[in-house]
Amino acid sequence: MNFEAIRQQEKENLMPTYGRFPVALVQGKGVYATDSEGKTYLDFTSGIGVNALGWCDDGWVKAVSEQAATLQHISNLYYNPVQTALAEELCRLSGFSKVFFGNSGAEANECAIKLARKFGETKAPDCKRILTLENSFHGRTVTTLAATGQDEFHHHFDPFTEGFDYAPIDDMEKVRAAVTEKTCAVMIELIQGEGGVFLLDPEFVRQLRQLCTEKGILLIADEVQTGIGRTGKLFCFERYGIRPDVVTSAKGLGGGLPIGACLCSAELGAVLSGGMHGSTFGGGPVVCAAARYMLGRIADPAFLAEVEAKGAYLQEKLRTIPQLTNIRGMGLMIGADVKPETGLTSLDVANLCLKKGMLVLTAHKAVRLLPPLVMTREEMDQGVAVLRQALKEATA
Ligand SMILES: *Cc1c(COP(=O)(O)O)cnc(C)c1O
């Protein structure tokens, strides 16, 4: 089917919720994908941080297809050895004690929110409020939209879930003022991804950890985007030198299949008891086989060190493009602003790159790069050359 036919089929049959780039991808291998017209693209998106090993990695395909051919779904009524093996690996590698599996980032956060509120009850009946940060992003369910600290997400779907307060990032005074007797948890992204690739200040994070400990409340790290090797450690909290009480994970965990995980400390392990939470699909054998394969490849110190080194390499190369400024990031989660004098928006840049056969993301004003963690330096050089040429032509 050609692109126009696909576009028409979408227009006639899908709810128009997505603003899509005018390309239909039909096949991929490694860091390259092919569209319906046979054009290839170099990928700096990983399907928004999901395809951490690129498209159709041989070992990943094998792990998924073998499990699909063995036992595709159980339901959580019965024991599931693929789920238990993944849970053991994830706990061992992360240093947490218990995990719950859902199907997405938003669901991982829903679990964290339920856990925090149930935990709050043990302190006081009305200790149920959760503080999040301005400009954050925590998901698209009604509750995780409420948790998201951006006003633009707080329209149309009211009444939203109550019980969220917001404080500006890196402002300990405002955070202190916002934490009350009714606060049971603070939920943060260590690097705000959708918000524009903003790294929290390490000193702020350290003080926040201290505040939560002093108050006996939970620090929840939403690592849906930053986790599973993206920043050069299995989890970004390791790079900040702190340990949250609860961590959520999703995007890169399944390498392309939908899985979310909510991890917690030993102390919190029994907070959600029988019948309090669940999921039909959560932790199914196929997604768990995929995630086990992903961890097997990514949770390797040499692999993670390469992610960090390649991230530094890519940032350095991006700094040589004159139209870009404020290059920032950690590992292979990188943001760059387009200089205002170019008159170009980040979306303009993404479209220019697309025309030249390269996929990049935007996050508000930033061009956001989340390349597959397996991308080589040579492939990064190719991408930087495309970006340089696109910006040069557009500002000539
Ligand atoms: C993507 C994202 C989510 C939502 O994940 P879904 O799988 O789309 O529900 C939540 N938090 C953060 C930090 C994210 O980047």
Q: Using the atom order of ligand 1, give the atom closest to the CA of residue 225.
A: 15
Q: State the distance from the centre of ligand 1 to the C-alpha of 223, rounded, in angstroms.
A: 9
Q: From the CA of 251, give the closest atom in ligand 1.
A: 7
Distance 327 CA to ligand 1 centre (A): 23
d(CA 49, ligand 1 centre) in Å: 10
Q: Phi-psi category of 56—alpha, beta or left, where left has phi over 0 and alpha has psi -120 to 50? A: left
Distance 261 CA to ligand 1 centre (A): 12
359 sits in the region (left: phi over 0; alpha: psi -120 to 50; else beta) called beta
Residue of minimum CA distance from atom 11 in ligand 1: 138
Query: For residue 129, what are the contacts with CB-CB under 8 A and spacing of at least 6?
Result: 120, 163, 164, 165, 180, 182, 183, 184
Who contacts 345 (Cβ-Cβ below 8 Å, separation ≥6)?
338, 365
Best residue among 194, 224, 287 to mutate for probing ligand 1, ranked by most atoms within 8 Å of CB: 224
User: Cβ of 334: how many Cβ atoms within 10 Å?
Assistant: 21
Residues lining ligand 1, Cβ inside 6 A: 104-106, 109, 137-139, 189, 193-194, 222, 224-225, 250-251
Check residue 363 and give its pLDDT. Answer: 97
How far is the centre of ligand 1, averaged over its atoms, from the C-alpha of 1 (Å)?
A: 31
With contact defined as beta carbons under 8 Å apart, do 361 and 45 qualify?
A: yes
Contacting residues for 117 by C-beta, under 8 A, at least 6 apart: 128, 130, 163, 184
Q: What does the DSSP 8-state code read for residue 116?
A: H
Indicate which atom in ligand 1 lies nearest the CA of residue 48: 1
Which residue stretches of the chain have pLDDT < 50? none
* pTM (two decimals): 0.98
Atom of ligand 1 nearest to the CA of 106: 9
106 alpha carbon to ligand 1 midpoint, in Å? Answer: 6
- 189 Cα nearest atom in ligand 1: 13
Torsion of CA 156, 159, 162, 165, to 10 degrees: 30
pLDDT of res. 101: 98
Ligand 1 centroid–CA 42 distance in Å is 24
Q: Whose CA is closest to 243, among 190, 192, 199?
A: 190
Rounded to the nearest angstrom, the gap between the alpha carbon of residue 365 and the centroid of all alpha carbons in its chain is: 18
Ligand 1 atom closest to Cα of residue 104: 7
User: Distance from first CA to last CA of the chain, Å, rounded?
Assistant: 37
- For residue 123, the SS3 value is coil
Task: Give the per-residue pLDDT at 98.
Answer: 98
Residue 67 to residue 52: CA distance in whole angstroms: 20
Among 46, 137, 246, name the best residue to mutate to test ligand 1's pocket (greatest count of ligand atoms within 8 A of Cβ): 137
Hey, what amino acid is at 222? D
User: 160 CA distance to ligand 1 centroid (A)?
Assistant: 18
- Residue 339 to residues 95, 327, 336, 351, 367, Cα–Cα distance (Å): 42, 11, 9, 17, 11
Whether a cis peptide bond, with omega within 30° of 0, leads into 244 is no
Measured in Å, residue 225 CA sits from the centre of ligand 1 at 7
Quote the ligand 1 centre to 144 CA distance (angstroms): 9
Spacing of C-alpha 198 from chain mean position:
13
Q: Which atom of ligand 1 is nearest to the CA of 193?
A: 15
As a whole number of Å, the CA-based R_g of the chain is: 21
For 84, the enclosing helix (H) or strand (E) is helix 81-94
User: Which pLDDT score, from 0 to 100, does residue 160 have?
Assistant: 98
Q: What are phi and psi of 166, to 5 degrees?
A: -130, 145
Ligand 1 pocket: which of 223, 225, 333 to mutate (most atoms within 8 A of CB)? 225
Name the nearest CA neighbour of 187 among 155, 153, 163. Answer: 163
